[in-house]
């Protein structure tokens, strides 16, 4: 609680509104003396930091272990005790991007080391070259110019084959797989961000339009995706930290255990969150949860196909 001296002047310094009490009824600013001692600044900083830490850890605890609690509290008007949904998602996304950037990129390290053995790499690429149905782009170009019409590729097919050929000429199968996995995990926050409005839209379709607004589904989605991103972040950090001890480390099994239970909790979490937030019977909630899970899985899979194609054609 603030102990700053109240100004004798009843005019708000921020909006010029008349302030009869301690706080301005128009903008909410405290009508206290703006000139403060170092002691006041220190106390104010400590109070803000303590409040933020309490709100942060309370938010994280509820997010991980009490599905839908944050959403219900936020929509009921209890908002100062927790981090706002958008701020929460942005914060977790920032930490995720930072963590992904901090850990070394094994693919890049491998590429640097293989620059010294370029001859061996070229031999490996030659031995593992992906079969496209044609021997080379020269043969494809020859068919495009002189071959029968039924054997010619469309403009899109030709572009795809050209991209695949370019990638396979400079990478082995293992390198393509490693680069794809690396790119996929580093872009998960972006993928989730793109999917969120569609996820909220599907929730809107399955629930009473008079009782629930799209905004309500959006808040539920922000909290749910914050949970997914946080679990991914925790599992990623655990895996990388344990990986520092080597693949043959006696504690390497911990990563497998956390991945299993983390993945299990991610899959199950949506059902209790849906049931508690929307207040429907367990059977109805279970049927809707499974249906929504399948619909969103198919939709996400559809988007991932395009995303995989995008990653593949941008490999180099």
* 156 vs 288: CA distance, rounded Å: 39
Place of tokens 């890049």: 108
Q: Is 39 exposed, middle or buried (0-12, 13-18, 19+ CB in 10 A)?
A: exposed
Coil, strand or helix at 146:
helix
Which tokens is 144 given? 């495009």
Residue 85: inside a domain: yes
101 and 7 assigned to the same domain: no
62 and 29 assigned to the same domain: no
Q: What angle do CA 256, 257, 262 make, to 5 degrees?
A: 100
What integer pLDDT is reported at residue 127 of this predicted model? 47
Q: CB atoms < 10 A from the CB of 159, how many?
A: 12
Query: pLDDT (tens digit, 9 = 90+) per residue, 58-88?
Result: 999 999 999 999 999 999 988 888 888 998 9
Inter-helix orientation angle 155-170/137-146, to 10°: 160
Range of the domain at 22: 1-35
What integer pLDDT is reported at residue 113 of this predicted model? 47
Residue 18: phi, psi to the nearest 5?
-75, 125
* 168 vs 177: CA distance, rounded Å: 11
Residue 297: inside a domain: yes
Residue 47: inside a domain: no
9 and 90 assigned to the same domain: no
Give the pTM: 0.68
What integer pLDDT is reported at residue 171 of this predicted model? 66
What integer pLDDT is reported at residue 224 of this predicted model? 95
Instruction: Give 83's DSSP letter.
Output: -
20 and 67 assigned to the same domain: no
Distances (CA, A) of 257 to 188, 245, 274, 314: 22, 17, 27, 34
247 and 201 assigned to the same domain: yes
CA 237 distance to own-chain centroid:
14
What integer pLDDT is reported at residue 119 of this predicted model? 46
Cβ(67)–Cβ(266) below 8 Å: no
192 and 260 assigned to the same domain: yes
Residue 80: inside a domain: yes
Residue 238 makes CB contacts below 8 A (sequence gap 6+) with 254, 255, 258
Residue 28: inside a domain: yes
Residue 173 makes CB contacts below 8 A (sequence gap 6+) with 128, 130
Query: pLDDT (tens digit, 9 = 90+) per residue, 124-145?
Result: 444 445 555 555 677 778 877 8
205 and 298 assigned to the same domain: yes
75 and 13 assigned to the same domain: no
Structurally, how many domains does the chain consist of? Answer: 2
What integer pLDDT is reported at residue 5 of this predicted model? 66
* 315 vs 168: CA distance, rounded Å: 10
Place of tokens 């909290």: 223
* 277 vs 290: CA distance, rounded Å: 16
Place of tokens 């495009």: 144
Low-confidence ranges of the chain (pLDDT < 50): 1-2, 107-117, 119, 121, 124-128
191 and 245 assigned to the same domain: yes
């Amino acid at each position: 609680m603030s102990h700053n001296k109240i100004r004798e002047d009843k005019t708000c310094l921020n909006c010029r509104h008349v302030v009869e009490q301690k706080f301005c009824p128009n903008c909410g600013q405290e009508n206290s003396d703006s000139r403060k001692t170092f002691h006041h600044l220190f106390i104010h900083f400590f109070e803000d930091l303590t409040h933020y830490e309490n709100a942060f850890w309370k938010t994280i605890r509820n997010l991980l272990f009490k599905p839908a609690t944050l959403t219900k509290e936020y929509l009921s008007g209890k908002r100062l005790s927790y981090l706002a949904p958008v701020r929460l998602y942005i914060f977790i996304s920032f930490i995720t991007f930072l963590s992904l950037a901090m850990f070394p990129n094994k693919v890049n390290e491998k590429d640097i080391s293989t620059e010294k053995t370029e001859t061996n790499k070229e031999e490996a690429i030659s031995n593992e070259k992906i079969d496209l149905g044609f021997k080379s782009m020269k043969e494809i170009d020859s068919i495009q110019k002189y071959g029968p019409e039924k054997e010619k590729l469309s403009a899109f097919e030709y572009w795809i084959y050209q991209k695949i050929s370019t990638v396979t000429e400079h990478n082995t199968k293992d390198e393509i797989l490693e680069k794809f996995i690396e790119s996929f995990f580093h872009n998960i926050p972006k993928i989730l961000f793109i999917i969120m409005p569609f996820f909220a839209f599907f929730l809107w379709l399955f629930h009473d339009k008079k009782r629930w607004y799209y905004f309500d589904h959006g808040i539920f989605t922000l909290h749910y995706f914050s949970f997914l991103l946080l679990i991914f972040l925790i599992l990623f950090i655990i895996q990388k930290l344990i990986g520092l001890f080597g693949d043959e480390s006696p504690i390497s099994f911990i990563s497998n255990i956390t991945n299993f239970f983390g993945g299990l909790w991610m899959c199950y979490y949506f059902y209790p969150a849906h049931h508690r937030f929307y207040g429907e019977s367990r059977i109805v909630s279970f049927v809707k949860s499974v249906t929504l899970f399948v619909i969103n899985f198919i939709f996400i899979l559809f988007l991932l196909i395009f995303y995989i194609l995008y990653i593949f054609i941008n490999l180099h």
